């Protein structure tokens, strides 16, 4: 039995053993649940951090895809902006200075040295 003093009253009162047992069990329950609550908070924080990590990686990948598309677009625009007549003239110059022409002129020089 637990005795306590009522404020303003000079007599001692008794408390039922059922009440003291209920208070004790409640206090033990709160203490026993604390580690579980702490671990659940840690797990929730880890889950949120992992979700943010994946969200950031998806965002970075989307930005890199956008940059790749922009670079490809710039390359295609440069290809289309080349003047076709200038390209044809350059191709003709390369074709005229081919290996066959060089070999023919070398053969002519060698034949001129023969008696």
In a domain, 68, yes or no: yes
Q: Which residue has the tokens 């033990």?
A: 28
Total tally of structural domains belonging to the chain: 1
CA distance 98 to 91: 11
In a domain, 61, yes or no: yes
Q: Confidence band (pLDDT; 50, 70, 90) for 91?
A: confident
In a domain, 20, yes or no: yes
State the residue range of the domain holding 22.
1-78
Q: Are 42 and 34 in contact (CB under 8 A)?
A: no
In a domain, 102, yes or no: no
Q: Confidence band (pLDDT; 50, 70, 90) for 40?
A: very high
In a domain, 94, yes or no: no
Query: What mean pLDDT do residues 5-19 have?
Result: 65
HSE-CB for 91 with a 13 A CA cutoff: 6
In a domain, 33, yes or no: yes
Tell me 6's DSSP state. P
């Amino acid at each position: 039995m637990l005795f306590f003093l009522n404020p303003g009253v000079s007599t001692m009162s008794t408390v039922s053993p059922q009440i003291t047992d209920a208070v004790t069990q409640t206090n033990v329950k709160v203490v026993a649940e604390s580690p579980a609550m702490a671990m659940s908070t840690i797990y929730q924080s880890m889950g949120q951090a992992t979700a943010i990590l994946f969200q950031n990686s998806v965002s970075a990948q989307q930005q890199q895809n956008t940059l790749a598309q922009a670079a490809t677009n710039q390359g295609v625009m440069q290809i289309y902006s080349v003047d076709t007549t200038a390209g044809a003239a350059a191709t003709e110059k390369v074709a005229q200075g081919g290996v066959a022409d060089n070999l023919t002129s070398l053969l002519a020089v060698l034949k001129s040295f023969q008696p």
